[in-house]
Structure 1
Amino acid sequence: MTDQPTVMTEEESLAFAQQVLEVARHGDAVMLERLLGKGLPANLKDHKGDSLLMLASYHGHAQATEVLMRYGADPMMANDRGQLPIAGAAFKGDLAVMRALVEGGAPVDGTGADGRTALMMAAMFDRVEMIDYLLTQGADLQARDAQGIDAAGAASAMGAQRARQHLQALLG
Structure 2
Amino acid sequence: MTSDAAQPDPPQPDSSQSATAQPGSPLTSEEQDEQVLALARRMLDDAREGRGDALLPLLDQGAPVAMRDSRGNTLLMLAAYHGHADLVRELAARGADVDQLNDRQQSPLAGAVFKGYDDVVSALLDAGADPDAGTPSGRDSVAFFGREEMGRLIEEKAPRA
Which residue pairs with 2:141 in the alignment? 121
Output the CA distance in 2 between the equivalents of 1:47 and 1:126: 31
Alignment of 1:1-172 (within 5 A): 4-6=11-13, 9-109=32-132, 111-112=133-134, 114=135, 116-140=136-160
- Kindly indicate whether the alpha-carbon contact (under 8 Å) linking 2:76 and 2:96 is maintained by their aligned counterparts in 1: yes
Who wins on radius of gyration, i.e. which is larger? Answer: 2
Structure 1's 39 and 132: CA in aligned 2 closer, same or farther, altered over 3 A? Answer: same
- Kindly indicate whether the alpha-carbon contact (under 8 Å) linking 2:142 and 2:148 is maintained by their aligned counterparts in 1: yes
Say which SS state the counterpart of residue 121 (structure 2) adopts: helix
TM-superposed CA distance for 1:91, in Å, is 0.8
Question: Which sections of structure 1, spanning at least 5 residues, go unmatched?
Answer: 142-172
- Kindly indicate whether the alpha-carbon contact (under 8 Å) linking 1:77 and 1:84 is maintained by their aligned counterparts in 2: yes
Counterpart residue identity of residue 75, structure 1: V
Percent of residue pairs identical: 38
CA RMSD of aligned residues (A): 2.1
Normalised to the residue count of structure 2, the TM-score between the two structures is 0.78
Say which SS state the counterpart of residue 9 (structure 1) adopts: helix
TM-superposed CA distance for 1:30, in Å, is 2.2
Structure 1's 5 and 18: CA in aligned 2 closer, same or farther, altered over 3 A? Answer: same
Normalised to the residue count of structure 1, the TM-score between the two structures is 0.73
Counterpart residue identity of residue 61, structure 1: H
Output the CA distance in 2 between the equivalents of 1:139 and 1:58: 23
- Kindly indicate whether the alpha-carbon contact (under 8 Å) linking 1:93 and 1:122 is maintained by their aligned counterparts in 2: no
TM-superposed CA distance for 1:6, in Å, is 1.7
- Kindly indicate whether the alpha-carbon contact (under 8 Å) linking 2:114 and 2:141 is maintained by their aligned counterparts in 1: yes
